[in-house]
Amino acid sequence: MAGDSVESPFGSWLDAPAHQTWLIMEGQRLLSFAKASRLAEGFGNLDGRGRLPAQAVAETMNTARMTHGFAMAHIQGIPGCRELVDHGVAALWGPLRDATFGGWYAVAEHRDGNSAKAAYLHAFVALAASSAAVAGNPEAPGLLAEAIRVLDTHFWSEEEGTLRESFARDWGNEESYRGANSNMHGTEAFLALADVTGDSRWLDRALRIVERLIHQRAATNDFMVIEHFDRQWQPLPDYNQDNPADGFRPYGTTPGHGFEWSRLLLHLEAARRAAGLLAPDWLLEDARGLFASAWRHGWAADGAPGVVYTLDWDHRPVVRERLHWVHCEASAAAAALLRRTGEAQYETWYRRFWDFNELYFIDRLHGSWHHELDEHNRPSARIWAGKPDLYHAYQAVLLPCLPLAPSLASALAQACWPKRGL
């Protein structure tokens, strides 16, 4: 834990060889399961047994996330992943991209009837392209340049210091909505873009996003992340009250995003310091506040262990299901705060989250992780059916063993190939 941490007076799992080996083995198990998601036009969503349903279609979100995941695996020297990176890049360059107006559809040739262009998806395309470039895919730099062009031209608002949410296919009819979720993943992508391009403007943009959404909003709201805003950045506290379990825009506040933002603030602080840029003291303070609020209000909020999906504005559970990505982000945030501060409280939470993941989420019988549990911590599928996601769990097993900066793919390249780089 040297370099960006305070040395702990206790033994940490982050330094334990057996724990590090466990994380590596779990990562390889996740990769083996995810390889079955390949389709002709990208990657699709696997069911609970690791099979592609007959009606499976390639989706941009999953294709980008799988490409990012397999790129990180290839960087580490795990055989059989380079070809999957190539496949993902080809799909993002090909059927998933709008060759007429630019940008990316949700599914190939918008066969789902949705031709809108969403910031959330484009952030993942940029992340995938940056990771594939680090992994050495020859087409990735071009894909990355195109993703950056689209982000610069259509999504980034210099006036607002955030990403615009979505547009019609021809980039008209901008949605009158601003979302924290898309900007959170934009922040993640911008950290990677800064590392791969060497352009510090991405770190400045990330700081502007974080300042608006976290320092100005969440920090004055008991560090409960406000998810939904109108186009003038006025909060929409009742948004989706009639559809509270929406998978991307749920009603209320989402403790899992509090954990995720907490970690991203620490990555941003470390990245700006490494680049010789100002890193405000409030980045660490707000990261602490987000983590504390998320566990205090989200953990066992209904009396059972685990973090509930959503809360109302009085801290009462709304959607009591436990989602796997929430607990992946919780463990990763605990690791980041432990690495940054060396404080025993974060070691305690890190172990608690991983014990919970092993006990309830990790499926030793059929592979991967259950993506959702009900209020009694039994597998369910109200919000997320099947096991489509590699991204969250795979990052959760990689992040604890890496420094806070650079971003994941670049950090893996430095760790695995310190003399040559990739």
Per the structure block, which two tokens stand in for 409?
């793919």
**Rounded Cα distance, 299 and 92, in Å:** 38
**Rounded Cα distance, 213 and 345, in Å:** 26
392 is catalytic: yes
Which whole-number Å values give the CA distances from 72 to 95, 411, 413, in the listed order? 23, 10, 9
Dihedral sign (CA 285, 294, 235, 182): positive
Compute CA 189 distance to the chain's CA centroid, rounded to the nearest angstrom: 9
SS3 for the chain is CCCCCCCCCCCCHHHCHHHHHHHHHHHHHHHHHHHHHEECCEECCCCCCCCCCCCCCCEHHHHHHHHHHHHHHHHCCCCCCHHHHHHHHHHHHCCCECCCCCCECCEHHHCCCCCCEEHHHHHHHHHHHHHHHHCCCCCHHHHHHHHHHHHHHHHEECCCCEECCEECCCCCCCCCCEEHHHHHHHHHHHHHHHHHHCCCHHHHHHHHHHHHHHHCCHHHCCCCCCCEECCCCCECCCCCCCCCCCCCCCCCECHHHHHHHHHHHHHHHHHHHHCCCCCCCHHHHHHHHHHHHHHHHHECCCCCCCECCCECCCCCECCCCEEHHHHHHHHHHHHHHHHHHCCHHHHHHHHHHHHHHHHHHECCCCCCECCEECCCCCECCCCCCCCCCCHHHHHHHHHHHCCCCCCHHHHHHHHHCCCCCC
Q: Which of 122, 154, 257, 324 is catalytic?
A: 257
324 is catalytic: no
Catalytic residue numbers, as ranges: 257, 392
